[in-house]
Amino acid sequence: MAEYSELELLREIRSPKDLDKLTNEQLDRLADEIRSYMVTVVSKNGGHLASNLGVTELTIALHKVFDFETDRLIFDVGHQSYVHKLLTGRAEQFASLRKRGGTAGFPKTSESRYDAFNTGHSSTSVSAAIGIKRADAILGVERNVVALIGDGALTGGMAYEALDDIGQQKLPVIIVLNDNEMSISGNVGGMSRHLAKMRTARSYQGFKRGFSKVLKHIPLIGKWMSDRFERLKNRIKYFILPNVLFEELGFTYLGPINGHDIEALTEVFEHAKGLGKPVVVHVITKKGKGYEPAERNPEKFHGIGKFDEATGECPSSRGNSAVFAEELCELAEKRERVVAITAAMASGTGLNAFKERFPERFFDVGIAEQHAVTMAAGMALAGTCPVFCVYSSFLQRGFDQLLHDVCLQNLKVVFGIDRAGLVGADGETHHGIYDISYLLTLPNMSILSPSSQEELRAALYCAVDRIEGPCAIRYNRGLLPSREMKGDMLEWECIKPFRSVCVAATGRLVAAAEEVCRDLNVGLYNARCIRPMDENALEKLSHAHYVITVEDGIVNDGFGTQVAAYLNEKGSGAQVIPVGVQNRVIEQGTVSEQDDECGLSKEKLAETIKSCMGGIYA
């Protein structure tokens, strides 16, 4: 592929205005250069590749037609914003993508005036666009507002709420529907089938336009016949043309358009800009286009770590997702009522194996976490044992459903909370640092936080076979260590006996705490069950001078706060020192860098523990 210094055309693009200097042939060459450069950088840094390869020409055309210094471009999710960054003065810095202090993997308003809205989660772009457009009307600002949303994001209900609002109020927002037939995994559901029909509707559209034009040119009766034809067309299109959905919502529908034809895209965007009413521009793109390994396997290259640029091969890695999914398959063999649910993340959560072995008990609801939680509640009420595997940062989207539909009814739903804790290069929109804190507010919710692969397996069995109500099992990105499991999953493991200074660590941080405490005169407990709390262990800790809690979640109202509240209620004089993530934005970087920033690295943990020991063992 190519380094930045080798790119003849991209090096000349300092702002989108420079696109006007290029011929159509040069714009096509620019698209090739951009693809080549993205492959090179992502192969070294990891990132979202396939989606960006698919929107290269689309993004060039948008920047040719609109002036996004003044106009606003809102990305949905935002992992397809790399091309946008390259065209808006950030090409030279792009090699720092996803690194600490470098170019973010998602739009960030603090990074560039061209980034209109911080994104990272799905189905939000249209709502944000409405907000900007309404504020502009109040403040007397004249500009175009464009929301770029993928067909996968249209499986999220929030997008429909916003589309309905726009159409009802006739707000002149331009919706660009990037249709690549994919979200992360292949799309599912009725909207996916609907869009598939729309891709085949071009011949009807062409016939309609041509026939109306012919009728209007018939002397005397042409306009009358054309009007009658229009009314007839409006009746029959309900039966043969799928774009009625958008038209009935109040949009003018344009498309489908070849998303890799810059000239055609430029023409349709110019047309959309001049309409002054709600518009949907339906664009067909190929995810992974231009890089053969990504075209062949777009799901693998959606979000990928470092890989061999020449072959597309990446180092094999096994993570906690695979461990959890394997154990879920084993459990499903023995328990016919166990079912698995995903929200468009079958690959990311390891559930592809379950899907293959138990297709009739596997349910992918698309990017619809709220729906997934309430559906799981219904399945539990009817007698099955649903296991919803979901990233921590995405489960937040279903908080009301967790409370209202699952916990208040005390239904047996198991939540496999993947990517819990700090996640590294994806940054603040994807950290799973809030789940302990918000799950602790919910009645009847048990929370297990295993520290090893063996405990992860045991936690799943415990949640399915022993715990009566809802249960969350949180596990980090990466792979927990393998070590012999001692004791009961619902009891804390005493790794080092009680001392005046005791450490209670949970999840992946038990390993770090164990290493730090090995040669120190302190007690150490593995708090693998956050709720219910192990009252026997806490009774011992109540006699300590200092209890240092260690968690990879928000310190505010988290595990440490719960320990402190319990000891205070018992009248203990122990001083609890919670160590965890501060309640502020933790920027992208490696997990090690983020741990150090939050006081969770082994070096920082040692400093905290030794400072507590100082006044006792001096």
Residue 181 near residue 373 (C-beta atoms within 8 A): no
The two tokens of residue 263 are 């000239």
N- to C-terminal Cα distance for the chain? 61
φ and ψ of 301, to 5 deg: -95, 10
* Type of residue found at 522: V
Judged by DSSP in three states, 446 sits in strand
- Least Cα distance to 381 among 358, 334, 403, 413 occurs for 413
Report strand pairing: 174-179 vs 252-258. Answer: unpaired
DSSP string for residues in 343-382: SS-TTTTTTHHHHHH-GGGEEE--S-HHHHHHHHHHHHHT
**Largest interatomic CA distance in the chain:** 107
266: left (phi over 0), alpha (psi -120 to 50) or beta: alpha
The two tokens of residue 124 are 């939000």
- Least Cα distance to 57 among 197, 212, 176 occurs for 176
DSSP 432: B
As to burial, measured by CB atoms within 10 angstroms (0-12 exposed, 13-18 middle, 19+ buried), residue 100 is middle
487: left (phi over 0), alpha (psi -120 to 50) or beta: left
Which residues are bridge partners to 45 per DSSP?
none
Q: In sequence order, which ranges of 217-360 are alpha helices (DSSP H)?
A: 222-240, 244-248, 262-275, 292-296, 320-334, 352-357
As to burial, measured by CB atoms within 10 angstroms (0-12 exposed, 13-18 middle, 19+ buried), residue 436 is buried
Judged by DSSP in three states, 588 sits in coil
The two tokens of residue 354 are 């379950």
- Least Cα distance to 22 among 150, 32, 68 occurs for 32
φ and ψ of 186, to 5 deg: -60, 145
Within 8 A by CB and 6+ apart from 379, the residues are 339, 386
For CA atoms 564, 593, 508, 518, the dihedral sign is negative
How far, in Å, CA of 472 to CA of 561, rounded? Answer: 19
Residue 444 near residue 468 (C-beta atoms within 8 A): no
Judged by DSSP in three states, 210 sits in helix
How far, in Å, CA of 192 to CA of 316, rounded? Answer: 32
The two tokens of residue 448 are 């297990």
Q: Which residues are catalytic?
A: 287, 369, 397
How far, in Å, CA of 427 to CA of 431, rounded? Answer: 6
Residue 542 near residue 523 (C-beta atoms within 8 A): no
> H-helix or E-strand containing 73?
strand 72-75
